[in-house]
Amino acid sequence: MKTKSDPKNGRRSIGGWLFHPLAACLGLGVLAGGCARLPATGLQCENLRSEYLKDPLGIDAASPRLSWIVASGRRGEKQTAYQILAASSAELLDRNSGDLWDSGRVASGETAQIVYSGKALISRQCCFWKVRAWDRDGHPGDWSHAARWEMGLLAPQEWSAHWISAEGGGSAAAPALPKDLAAPQMLRKSFVLNSTIRRGVLYATALGLYDARINGQRVGDHVLEPDWTDYRKRVRYQTYDVTALLHRGDNAIAALLANGWYSGHIGNGGFQFFGKVPAFLAQLEVTYSDGRTERIVTDAAWKWHASPILSSDFMLGEDYDARLEVNNWDQPALDESQWAAVKLRFESMSLEAQVMEPVRQIREIKPQKTTESKPGCWIYDLGQNMVGVVRLKVSAPAGTKVTLRHAEMLNPDGSLYTQNLRAATSVDHYICKGGGLEIWQPRFTFHGFRYVELTGLAGQPASDAVTGIVIGSDTPRTGEFACSDARINQLQSNIQWSQRGNFISIPTDCPQRDERLGWMGDAGVFIRTATYNADVAAFFTKWLVDVDDGQSAEGVFSDVNPSTGGGGAPAWGDAGVICPWTIYEVYGDKRILERHLPAMIKWVEYLKLHSNGFIREKDRGNDYGDWLSIGADTSKELIGTAFFACSTDLVARSCKAVGRMEEAAKYEAWFQEIKAAFNKRYVGADGRIQGNTQTAYALALKFDLLPGELQPKAAQYLEDDIRAKGEHLSTGFLGVSYLLPVLTQSGKAGTAGRLLLQDTFPSWLFPVKHGATTIWERWDGWTPEKGFQSPGMNSFNHYSLGSCGEYLFGGIGGIRPASPGFKDILIDPVVGTGLTWADTRYDSINGTIATSWKLDGTSLQLKVVVPANTTATVCVPARDRAAITESGKPVAKAAEVKFVRQEKGKVVLEVGSGTYDFASKLE
């Protein structure tokens, strides 16, 4: 195998998510410099966002939720009140006139999920807003900088655009029906703007994928728009400010239109699952300086033409013939005689605004190594398994056909290992037009790869012929973790890369083979880890609507969403409850619970109806069990019942969170009944659980299914089994995410540490030891003894087994929410257990939380950053209270530090916001 890379290299960077060595980040960025820049008094409101997004255009939430972060260098700082001004223009806001909303001084410590409560908002409304906050002494801070949001088109009648598609008509260049239905088309219309332009806004979407262009320039920086949804029910439109692209006089608007998820190949669904021919919808609204408005919409006047993209498909790749390029196809002046009239289409799905960060190009990767595997066959190693496309740079005679093949791994003979791609051939072709340097990258496909094979050129390609272009949903990076073991740092890097590469419009299982689906079980086990690595609130806000769309009338959640059918598997279906609950816990988002509670309730009602005496004996759909567990078979019925309990418990808590107390009581009572049934059926008087598997214990302990007296016994059996397996895990997708937290909470952090640092098979570090740069689907995707696992199921980029990332942040870093949205924080780091230091940072919705600990023998240093306007319970590992100092002073004398209690091996303190520098002696 040729994939070895030095795991000691540790930290890699993933674009947009630049990975600074954490020591530097924490030490300089947060612990020292960050706070030093802040004023000692007065609160600054920063990071203003609307519906989780920074200055979003075209949102359709009638009452958007606003959030900000208050910053202060002072310990124990709090916001005691806030005032929000929202104005219809920047000038009014500047004059402190909130003509849309002046909240007045609101006595409140909340800074997130603040519901806009001003004048009713109408379509296209521009809202400029700012906020100020009063500190703990009642002093108001300065007004924040101005932020904005803009409303989208709130009703169907706001659209005068028609769906158009490239069908019918006919000429030499535009045959009556595309020869090959996988061929993207060019669409266009020219128009005149007869005055100077104040503003231009484009609303656009497609059934399929589009790239919009105005006057020869690309609109926006999104790729693969619109997001994947269940197009039978809804499609999301994007809003772009295109003022800078327009001018008085002749203009042209154009688009490339491709199949994408709508009518290309999708895993399980095959070809043309949602529809046969893609369609485009666009409405350009221009406001002239004198206030007059003009609309240019997709209509019968648009024309279409075959494009140089001969075919494009997520699974198959993209073919491009540069000789077929039509010069100035997206410019006003063009001879349209070879262009055919478009066909108008009627579509009835609902049109809704995009609500999350778009997919973007995140970064570029240069190859680390090039080899000529056989004459004329060049293999590039990018050094990182990534998701995206290759940018090709070549100079070759016209007609030269360059072929790019992609793979995650190499065969022992150095050739590409592509068997695991199954039917996803993932091949791009580029036919040169000749005459100089040509730069090309596919637009409507993506691949999962580390290696690229280039053939078709005479002679050796230039050193910059191949560049990896990484794409992903542009969820802002929120977490950094680094510790004293470079292998764990590589593991964390692998988790981030697998998250990046699989959060493409929806959370997918894998990015390379012919699957790439929104598998629920995978998302359900990984979501908590995902929230540490990135701000995924908006991303899940969108996907959870797809999840509801896929629910059957009787309440069955589909196993994949957007749904291609089938559903109801334990854990996979339960993700329909686990995911909204997690978003509530992490971001304090009650609206997501309110939006999804009907679906969550329907699911548990379905489970009750399809169980016997609360045991999930039947109707478990395509039950996958503890998928890909290793040498341990946990009863599927037991797993089903445990997840039934988990969902019911979370539904009860969700009802409570939104004030639906009667229902909360009903489901809480059900939860108790499921627990009783679980114990009766599966748990012995000695605490042994049927099957004695790690997953059975992990689920029972995590979901609180055991009576208190049996919990330590169950934890002991769990530990015994790990020991009996030579400090190895045996869990699959389901057990794995709970294993380390459950062990630690049961007082067995040492065992958790040994599991985490284990590098013989099966373990998290086994792939790392063998050069993995992403998380593998299987514990044994490749082994020195057997080589590759069966190619039918052998992805090297699957985040599920990376759900241990939660433990890096929440366990070793010790950063966990004590109340929804991290308004109250629990800092409870696991120190030692094989590591000598760990630096962890998490940008919560309430501000940046950080911990940094270093162990030297029995001396511990623990630095903690608690953001303004939050409180933290800090568990300082220590012999006793007297063994702790803070900033060199006995902890009893430290400002803003309150002693709560002493536990075995740690002292529990309560602190307000600020930076704390503890030192302690351990036992």
Task: Kindly indicate which of the ranges 76-84, 516-524, 538-546, 580-588 contains the residues binding ligand BGC, using the contact rule CB under 6 A.
Answer: 516-524
Closest distance between ligand BGC and the C-beta of residue 506, in Å?
Answer: 13
Show the tokens assigned to 384. Answer: 């990182």
Distance of CA 684 to the CA centre of its chain: 41
Map residue 713 onto helix, strand or coil: helix
Measured between its terminal Cα atoms, the distance across the chain in Å is: 46
Strands (E), 655-703: none
Q: Which amino acid is at 657?
A: A
Closest distance between ligand BGC and the C-beta of residue 638, in Å?
Answer: 18
- x/- string (CB under 6 A) for ligand BGC, residues 813-832? --------------------
Cβ atoms within 10 Å, residue 618: 10
CA distance 329 to 729: 59
627 binds ligand BGC (CB under 6 A): yes
The closest of 548, 550, 605, 534 to 799, measured between CA atoms, is 534
Show the tokens assigned to 624. Answer: 């996958």
Place of tokens 């013989």: 760
444 binds ligand BGC (CB under 6 A): no
Q: Which of residues 775-814 bind ligand BGC (CB under 6 A)?
A: 798, 800
> Which region holds residue 130: left if phi is over 0, alpha if psi is between -120 and 50, else beta?
beta
> Cis omega before residue 226 (within 30°)?
yes
626 binds ligand BGC (CB under 6 A): no
Place of tokens 């023998």: 857
Show the tokens assigned to 873. Answer: 């319970």
Q: Which is nearer to ligand BGC, 624 or 703 (CB)?
A: 624
Which residue of 304, 526, 624, 776 would you call a contact of ligand BGC, by CB under 6 A? Answer: 624
Q: Which is nearer to ligand BGC, 128 or 557 (CB)?
A: 557
Closest distance between ligand BGC and the C-beta of residue 519, in Å?
Answer: 4
Partner residues linked to 210 by β-bridges = 225, 257
Q: Which is nearer to ligand BGC, 522 or 843 (CB)?
A: 522
Q: Given the residues 352, 438, 480, 515, select the one marked as catalytic.
A: 515
Q: Which is nearer to ligand BGC, 284 or 632 (CB)?
A: 632
CB 900 within 8 A of CB 909: yes
The closest of 595, 700, 609 to 654, measured between CA atoms, is 595
Closest distance between ligand BGC and the C-beta of residue 507, in Å?
Answer: 11
Number of residues that bind ligand BGC (CB under 6 A): 10
Which residue of 515, 535, 549, 637 would you call a contact of ligand BGC, by CB under 6 A? Answer: 515
Closest distance between ligand BGC and the C-beta of residue 577, in Å?
Answer: 17
Is 886 annotated as catalytic?
A: no
Q: Given the residues 285, 352, 777, 886, select the one marked as catalytic.
A: 777
Q: Which of residues 247-306 bind ligand BGC (CB under 6 A)?
A: none
The closest of 179, 208, 352, 338 to 271, measured between CA atoms, is 208
Cβ atoms within 10 Å, residue 186: 23
Q: Which is nearer to ligand BGC, 430 or 627 (CB)?
A: 627
584 binds ligand BGC (CB under 6 A): no
Q: Which is nearer to ligand BGC, 73 or 518 (CB)?
A: 518
- x/- string (CB under 6 A) for ligand BGC, residues 450-489? ----------------------------------------
CA distance 24 to 30: 9
Task: Kindly indicate which of the ranges 12-20, 165-173, 515-523, 643-651 contains the residues binding ligand BGC, using the contact rule CB under 6 A.
Answer: 515-523
Closest distance between ligand BGC and the C-beta of residue 790, in Å?
Answer: 12
Contacts of 358 (CB under 8 A, 6+ apart): 220, 221, 222, 223, 225, 227, 238, 473, 474
Q: Which is nearer to ligand BGC, 748 or 778 (CB)?
A: 778
Which residue of 68, 128, 519, 738 would you call a contact of ligand BGC, by CB under 6 A? Answer: 519
Q: Which is nearer to ligand BGC, 162 or 616 (CB)?
A: 616
521 binds ligand BGC (CB under 6 A): yes
Show the tokens assigned to 65. Answer: 């939720």
Map residue 472 onto helix, strand or coil: strand
Closest distance between ligand BGC and the C-beta of residue 520, in Å?
Answer: 8
The closest of 578, 186, 210 to 358, measured between CA atoms, is 210
Q: Which is nearer to ligand BGC, 521 or 821 (CB)?
A: 521
Closest distance between ligand BGC and the C-beta of residue 526, in Å?
Answer: 10
CA distance 531 to 847: 14
CB 151 within 8 A of CB 123: yes
Closest distance between ligand BGC and the C-beta of residue 794, in Å?
Answer: 10
Map residue 849 onto helix, strand or coil: strand
Is 903 annotated as catalytic?
A: no
- x/- string (CB under 6 A) for ligand BGC, residues 494-513? ---------------xx---
Active site residues: 515, 777
Binding positions for ligand BGC, rule: CB under 6 A = 509-510, 515, 519, 521-522, 624, 627, 798, 800
